[in-house]
Amino acid sequence: MTDMVVRTGLSRKDIYECYQCARCTGSCPALEVRPDAYGPRETILRWLDQGRDKLTRDKHIWLCCTCNVCEERCPQMLPISDLLTDLRNLAARRGNIPDRLAAAIRLLAVTGRTMIVHQLDEMRAHHGLEPLPPAAAEEVRAILKETGLDEVIEF
Amino acid sequence: MNSSPGRFSRRGAPKKVIMKYALYLGCSIPIKYPGFEAATRLVCEKLEIELVDLSFSCCPPSTSMKQVHYGSWLALAARNLCVAEEAGLDLLTLCSGCVNTLKEANHILKENDSKRRRVNRVLKSVNHRFEGTIEVTHILDVLCQDSVQDKIKALKARDIPLRMGAHYGCHYFRPSAVMKPQVLDEDEYPLPMHMDELLSFIGAEPIQFGRKYLCCGMPLGANMDQDAGYALTREKLFHIRASNVQALSVVCPSCFEQFDMGQIILGRKYKEKDHIPTFYLTQLLGLYMGMSPTEVGMDVHRIKTRKLLKTIGIE
């Protein structure tokens, strides 16, 4: 199922339903702290003007909190979050993925969890808790091989 | 023959609702913040909510895996759902991120036949099959049920009279069509208020503050730019301080980390010393029921809670 994506089912014509009102961008937290981010409005405009291919090579598409505020507030009810997820999935497949994110995904693929700490048993015992059983790492790995994650990130 | 109810008749006996869930801990809570796990287990035990531990993995987050590889996101989430289905239990999450992934995946897989078929083809190799037989919930939703609130009230040891800010975490309630469909039916703007109500229930004063429903900064920091993430946290803290909030209540370990660790990091950078303690909701419930701050894991918070709790007579 390597080609499984969100599939918004939106054509280029549908995306033209965006009339660039920037209500999304006015609500975008990422844009507030990173003025070089595009925000949803500009991302959609670039998509239409330059085509999706060019955009998938652009690092700026990862400057996003995934908070979904843009989608909630879109007066045209465009599924902006799904559009951006589709775009980033394609970008990742082409090798455009932030290092920190790639490292987190690799850790998950290998251990079944997204984080790791030293002296975990002692920490848990301090709070009166049993040691944490290992995650079902082998099953996780088998699933992720089957879904084709290793075509995007080696693990 | 006596036709009146015999001693074994169940008529008249109080109806006992047994609450039992598969406890989905996720990654952050059991690894970074086991104190929240301890508080939750203690509070649930008092409330007679049975928690069952099963062999789950990372949810995985919609902030990371979903953005990188949607198919992997859906399939891993499906496996976690299957593990709970196989035990015949609804799944209880403690994190705004986990509830987002698992609730949305459950929704997608129940509604979309083709995606369910494809995911089941993948899960076959590890002997699972998604059937769509369970629901996903969050500890906040459980604590807000009427029957549970009656029990909470009966367990009261003391009030928590603090000016508190409730912080839900974006993914707990957005996208609203999936996370809170019932709210949409009522034609209301879909912003949650029930943690605020729960806080006033335990004697706190819920305070409204600017940027309450916007991002804490975690996903931006974790994926791309830590400084930008903390800049968002700082914006938020500015509004929180301006509203004279004494402490925050969260239901998400990522939000907690942004506020707790974030204030240490921001404090060093900007020489800001006005620190606002953050609590995980079940820690507050624990205090309300008479547990000590250490019992509910407050001793390891980076922003110390002792001074504030002392002002309301809790030591």
**Do B70 and A89 meet the contact criterion of CB atoms below 8 Å apart?**
yes
Q: Are residues A82 and A17 in the same domain?
A: yes
In this structure, of A6-15, A103-112, A117-126, the range with the lowest mean pLDDT score is A6-15
pLDDT band at B190 (very low <50, low <70, confident <90, very high): confident
Say whether pLDDT at A8 is over 80. no
A133 in any annotated domain: yes
Quick one: pLDDT at residue B154?
97
pLDDT band at B155 (very low <50, low <70, confident <90, very high): very high
Residue among B64, B79, B118 minimizing CB distance to A1: B118
Is omega for the bond preceding B60 within 30 degrees of 0, making it cis?
A: yes
Quick one: pLDDT at residue A47?
92
A122 in any annotated domain: yes
**Chain A to chain B, count of Cβ pairs less than 8 Å apart?**
203
A72 in any annotated domain: yes
A29 in any annotated domain: yes
The last residue of a domain, from among A93, A113, A130: A93
Q: What is the pLDDT of residues B252-297, one digit of tens each?
A: 999 999 999 999 999 999 998 889 999 999 999 999 999 999 999 9
**Three-state SS letters, chain B:** CCCCCCCCCCCCCCCCCCEEEEEECCCHHHHCCHHHHHHHHHHHHHCCEEEECCCCCCCCCCCCHHHHCHHHHHHHHHHHHHHHHHCCCEEEECCHHHHHHHHHHHHHHHHCHHHHHHHHHHHHHHCCCCCCCCCEEEHHHHHCCHHHHHHHHHCCCCCCCCEEEEECCHHHHCCHHHHCHHHHHCCCCCCCCHHHHHHHHCCCEECCCCCCCCCCCHHHHHHCCHHHHHHHHHHHHHHHHHCCCCEEEECCHHHHHHHHHHHHHHHHHHCCCCCCCEEEHHHHHHHHCCCCCCCCCHHHCCCCCHHHHHHCCCC
> What does the pLDDT average to over A99-120?
93
Q: Which chain B residues contact residue A115 at CB under 8 A?
A: 27-28, 31-32
Q: Are residues A79 and A128 in the same domain?
A: no
Q: What is the mean pLDDT of chain A?
A: 92
Quick one: pLDDT at residue A2?
46
User: How many angstroms separate the CA atoms of B139 and B46, rounded?
Assistant: 14
A4 in any annotated domain: no
Quick one: pLDDT at residue B187?
59
Range of the domain at A87: 12-93
Tell me the pairing of strands B90-93 and B278-280. unpaired
Quick one: pLDDT at residue A64?
97
Residue among B37, B71, B79 minimizing CB distance to A4: B71
Say whether pLDDT at B14 is over 60. no
- CA angle, B120 then B124 then B127, to 5°: 120
In this structure, of B3-7, B83-87, B292-296, the range with the lowest mean pLDDT score is B3-7
Dihedral of CA atoms A56, A62, A65, A67 in degrees, nearest 10, equals 10
Gap from A83 CA to chain B (nearest CA, Å): 11
| B19-139 CATH, one of 1.10.10.10, 3.40.640.10, 1.20.1050.140, 3.40.1650.10 | 1.20.1050.140
pLDDT band at B17 (very low <50, low <70, confident <90, very high): low
Say whether pLDDT at B6 is over 50. no
Q: Which chain A residues contact residue B74 at CB under 8 A?
A: 4
> What does the pLDDT average to over B119-136?
97
Considering the entire predicted model, what is its pTM? Answer: 0.94
Q: Are residues A50 and A83 in the same domain?
A: yes
Contact A33 B70 (CB under 8 A): no
> What does the pLDDT average to over A42-71?
95
Quick one: pLDDT at residue B4?
45
A155 in any annotated domain: no
Say whether pLDDT at B87 is over 90. yes
- The DSSP line for A28-60 is -HHHHH-TTS-HHHHHHHHHHHH-HHHHHT-GG
Residue among B58, B70, B79 minimizing CB distance to A4: B70
Q: Write the CATH number for A39.
A: 1.10.1060.10
The number of folded domains in chain A is 2
Q: Are residues A37 and A74 in the same domain?
A: yes
**Domain B19-139 shares a fold with domain B158-311:** no
Is A91 or A9 the better-scoring residue by pLDDT?
A91
Percent share of chain B, pLDDT over 90: 89
A59 in any annotated domain: yes
Residue among A27, A98, A116 minimizing CB distance to B223: A98
Answer whether B263 touches A (CB < 8 Å): no
Answer whether B63 touches A (CB < 8 Å): yes
Q: Which chain B residues contact residue A113 at CB under 8 A?
A: 27, 31, 57-58
Gap from A67 CA to chain B (nearest CA, Å): 6
- Selection from B196, B197, B200, B195 nearest residue B159 by Cα: B200
Q: Which two tokens stand for residue A101?
A: 């994110």
Q: Are residues A89 and A124 in the same domain?
A: no
Contact A66 B176 (CB under 8 A): no
The last residue of a domain, from among A64, A93, A122: A93
The last residue of a domain, from among A93, A115, A139: A93
Q: Identify the CATH number of the domain defined by range B158-311.
A: 3.40.50.11810
A142 in any annotated domain: yes
Domain spans, chain B? 19-139, 158-311
Q: Are residues A75 and A34 in the same domain?
A: yes
